[in-house]
Amino acid sequence: MAISVVIPTKGRVDQIFICLNSILKQTLLPHEIIIVDSSENANLGLFLKRKFPLDLPKIKYIHSEATLTEARNIGTQQSSGDVILFLDDDTILDKNYIKEMTKVFTNDNNGKIAGVMGNITNTKRDTSGWRAALRHLFSLGYYGNGKFRLSGLSTWIHGEKKMMKTEFLSGCASAYRREILNEFKFDEKLGMLGGYCFLEDADFSYRVSRKYALMYTPFAKLEHRPPTKVFSSEKKRQYIFNHFYLFKKNMPKHLSNIFAFIISLYGVLLFTLLFERNLKGFVGCFQGIKDISSKFPADSTESFT
């Protein structure tokens, strides 16, 4: 089984080098590594040629001013493996990650498993306390069984100690069979407002999970080290915008779903102000809510019902 690794990146040379080193130390090397760089210039390509041998596994560099979803689609089109593993540039793989992930596919004799996700080991599985209770109450994402909530947001499965079926695969380290990626594409509309593709992994795995099986394996381990940051007003605005778009696109419009979606908007506002203490982000949330009615394409501004 040939594994293609696709890594979108933008202006993060140090992170991509650390990520690549963890890939090149795998006990089972991938067939190829495809880096889609959305930086303003192609300097990363020059650095890669100096630092890494471009033989086996092949390292293919593509420079394209693309959003995250566009970059993943470009990487998929340029790949040739049986399975495509999508990584964020700030992930660090355990040396057996690809080997353990591949086991899930190869042990699936009937070919029913469409995608696999490993275990993010550097995050705490917080299922108790009032913060977790508030997330549950406001129909937000929380640590659970990997299923989607009525609001359209997902629960998070990483930290579980046994292999389990899931509906959500995190975009930072998810692998899909090629035939699935021939059938489904990442939604390039998700960056239309400000270029930041929040919830693209939720959208993709939700659509796939309606038709095929997805799996989580705790034995494929990695660390995800995104930079600590407070989201700006524009990024919070994009989050609200994307949340509405995906709810409108994917979820049934039963009264229970509509109520859960509305409650989740209040939850995002609450967490932005109370836990992040991000006043600009709080304002951005309101701007996103305004965008739902004033900025969205005409074919998506119909009433929920």
Beta strand 83-87 with 173-177 is antiparallel
Question: Over 60: is that where the pLDDT of 282 sits?
Answer: yes
Domain ends where: 171, 202, 224?
224
Q: For residues 221-243, give the mean pLDDT.
A: 87
Domain around 241:
233-300
202 and 268 in one domain?
Answer: no
Inside any domain, residue 148: no
Domain ends where: 179, 200, 224?
224
Domain at 10, CATH number: 3.90.550.10
76 and 17 in one domain?
Answer: yes
Across 147-156, 203-212, 267-276, least confident range: 267-276
Q: Rounded to an integer, what distance in angstroms lies between the CA atom of residue 247 and that of residue 250?
A: 5
Q: Rounded to an integer, what distance in angstroms lies between the CA atom of residue 29 and that of residue 186?
A: 26
Q: For residue 223, list its beta bridge partners.
A: 92
Inside any domain, residue 132: no
Query: Which token pair is 142?
Result: 């929380």
> Look-up: residue for tokens 């795998």?
26
Question: Over 60: is that where the pLDDT of 234 sits?
Answer: yes
Q: Which helix (H) or strand (E) is 182 found in, with range?
A: helix 178-183
253 and 106 in one domain?
Answer: no
Inside any domain, residue 274: yes
Q: Rounded to an integer, what distance in angstroms lies between the CA atom of residue 213 and that of residue 114?
A: 6
Q: Rounded to an integer, what distance in angstroms lies between the CA atom of residue 133 and that of residue 65?
A: 41
Task: For residue 53, name the pLDDT band (cuts at 50, 70, 90).
Answer: low
Q: Rounded to an integer, what distance in angstroms lies between the CA atom of residue 234 and that of residue 280?
A: 9
Question: Over 60: is that where the pLDDT of 55 sits?
Answer: no
Inside any domain, residue 143: no
Question: Over 60: is that where the pLDDT of 168 sits?
Answer: yes
Inside any domain, residue 63: yes
296 and 216 in one domain?
Answer: no
Residue 97 near residue 23 (C-beta atoms within 8 A) = no
Q: For residues 70-94, give the mean pLDDT.
A: 96
Long-range contacts of 45-51 (CB under 8 A, 24+ apart): 47/13, 47/17, 51/17
119 and 13 in one domain?
Answer: yes
Q: For residues 293-297, give the mean pLDDT.
A: 60
Neighbours of 43 (CB within 10 A): 13
Nearest CA to 120 among 213, 51, 230, 218? 218
**What pLDDT was estimated at residue 298?**
45
Q: For residues 73-100, give the mean pLDDT.
A: 97
Inside any domain, residue 136: no
**What pLDDT was estimated at residue 56?**
55
243 and 183 in one domain?
Answer: no
119 and 251 in one domain?
Answer: no
Q: For residues 241-265, give the mean pLDDT.
A: 95
205 and 59 in one domain?
Answer: yes
**What pLDDT was estimated at residue 245?**
93
Q: Rounded to an integer, what distance in angstroms lies between the CA atom of residue 176 and that of residue 85?
A: 7
Question: Over 70: is that where the pLDDT of 24 sits?
Answer: yes
Q: What is the number of structural domains in the chain?
A: 2
252 and 220 in one domain?
Answer: no
Q: Rounded to an integer, what distance in angstroms lies between the CA atom of residue 264 and that of residue 35?
A: 35
Displacement of CA 93 from its chain's centroid (Å): 16
Inside any domain, residue 151: no
**What pLDDT was estimated at residue 94?**
98
Helices marked H in 68-210: 68-78, 97-106, 130-137, 178-183, 200-209
Alpha carbons within 13 angstroms on the beta-carbon side of residue 206 total 20
> Look-up: residue for tokens 């951005």?
284
Domain ends where: 224, 243, 264?
224
Sign of CA dihedral 156, 159, 163, 169: positive
171 and 51 in one domain?
Answer: yes
Q: What is the DSSP string of 16-59?
A: HHHHHHHHHT-SS--SEEEEEE-SSSSHHHHHHHHHS-SSSSEE
Query: What are the angstrom distances between the C-alpha of 92 and each of 38, 102, 154, 165?
Result: 21, 17, 24, 24
80 and 15 in one domain?
Answer: yes
Inside any domain, residue 8: yes
Q: Which helix (H) or strand (E) is 183 found in, with range?
A: helix 178-183
284 and 186 in one domain?
Answer: no
Question: Over 50: is that where the pLDDT of 92 sits?
Answer: yes
Q: Rounded to an integer, what distance in angstroms lies between the CA atom of residue 170 and that of residue 120?
A: 9
